[in-house]
Structure 1
């Protein structure tokens, strides 16, 4: 089982508008809403492909109730503390104006108490079994402990889970102080944490702390280091509708393949196919199983050798 943890849920909102002028009234042409947050995207992707998935989060107010019902309708089982305040909204603007297209505005989300934080950690431990893959991704709500990732990772690892993290900044630094099994990072995060974006240097520095490293470099694709091997996987798409959530879906593919004990090359293949499938649909952070199945044999895989 893959257990997804989304500490800071979000209602992902696609907002279409022609232009935006600061200091003036701006009217949107249309709005679409989807259950979101990085961990939510992971859970939904796995549920669509595998038929079973679990999501733990802080469910806030009316928006949290709506997202919980939406996730369960997709086949995702849910757990976690219920908050009084609403979860946040994240806006992605769609426009013919290139300076505005895919601009994002993110609300901060609700605050949590120490007891609510402790309850989420307890729910994570209650939900997982020995050997489960646990994916913890995204930001944490306001007033969370500064070392929230470190505490969550340590608890899950102590319970026997293979913990994969997808976060940045101080959250990533703190997470690496615990028993992290795997991580997904992009070029910006690699520069920040390793001081370099070069694949060999990133893998060399992080492999002493982490068993599985999924390093994505945009159009270059995925570099995956695991069990002493490094594979480069990529896939060309003729058309991309939306890239929102593709990194989360890539993490989902890696977690799915890892949970099923596939080879390192196949873990990389599933990661890229899941991520690319997300780009083919207008729904934010979601994919279709039929797209993944079509893309899997199209992924180019090469093993890399470093001196």
Structure 2
């Protein structure tokens, strides 16, 4: 089983707007809601790929119950800690007006108590022995320390489990202090971390702390470093619907392929195919198995000479 940790799940909404005028009433003409949060997308993608997938999270109020029900419908087992306050909502605005099309507005989510965190940690420890890989992604609600991911990674390492992480800021910096298996980040996040978007500079910064590095470059594809190999992979797609959640689906593809002990080139291909498949689907942060299988043979994979 692959366990995905989502500290701050959400209800993600597509909201259609004809116009957005500051200071005036703006009416949403249509809305569609989906289970959200970075690790939620990862867990959903893994289930679609055929993995046994569990989502571990803080479940807030009626919003949390709704998210759990939607995940169960799609074959994702859920577990975690229940909260009184509702989980957050996140909006992606769609419009013919390109100035704000695909604009996202994200609520902060509920606040956590010390007991909430302790219950979460204990439940996580009980689940670890049944997992093969841990995926941790996204922000934390208020009320936890900036080294919370680091603590969970350390616990995972004590059980011999590998963690793939997708987060930013102090949580990432503190996680790097303890080291972990895999990191997914985009160009903006790479520049914040090491002052450069160069994979070579990034690998120097991460040297000895991370085994697998996945650097995504949007339409330019993926650079993946693993087992001493630097792989560049990309695939061309037509009819893109929405890129929202494609990075999370890419993480899921990598986790799936690592769990299957695939080669670095095949891991990169699965990551790219899953990220691209998400772009073809109207449902936010979700992919379809048939799209992944169709795209896989089309992924262009190239190994780059890299001297450490």
CA RMSD, 1 decimal = 1.1
TM-score, normalised with respect to structure 1: 0.97
Cα deviation, 1:228-272, whole Å, max 9, x if unaligned, reads: 111111111122110000000000000000011111111111000
The answer for unaligned runs of 5 or more in structure 1 is none
Contact 1:131-1:160 at 8 Å conserved across structures? no
Contact 1:157-1:179 at 8 Å conserved across structures? no
Contact 1:121-1:155 at 8 Å conserved across structures? no
Query: How far is 1:171 from its partner?
Result: 1.5
Cα deviation, 1:147-198, whole Å, max 9, x if unaligned, reads: 1111111111212210010001111111111231110011011111111111
Aligned partner of 2:189 in structure 1 is 189
Contact 2:272-2:299 at 8 Å conserved across structures? yes
Contact 1:80-1:120 at 8 Å conserved across structures? yes
Aligned partner of 2:158 in structure 1 is 158
Query: How far is 1:103 from its partner?
Result: 0.7
After the TM superposition, list the runs of 4 or more consecutive aligned residues in structure 1 that deviate by more than 4 angstroms. Answer: none
Distance 1:142 1:29, change over 3 A: same
Aligned partner of 1:175 in structure 2 is 175
Aligned partner of 1:242 in structure 2 is 242
Aligned partner of 2:203 in structure 1 is 203
Contact 1:182-1:212 at 8 Å conserved across structures? yes
Query: How far is 1:129 from its partner?
Result: 2.5
Question: Larger deviation: 112-121 or 12-21?
Answer: 112-121
Matched positions, count? 307
Query: How far is 1:131 from its partner?
Result: 6.7
In structure 2, C-alpha distance between the alignment counterparts of 1:131 and 1:223, rounded to whole Å? 27
Aligned partner of 1:108 in structure 2 is 108
Query: How far is 1:130 from its partner?
Result: 7.2
Aligned partner of 2:260 in structure 1 is 260
In structure 1, C-alpha distance between the alignment counterparts of 2:99 and 2:77, rounded to whole Å? 39
Question: Larger deviation: 202-211 or 287-296?
Answer: 202-211
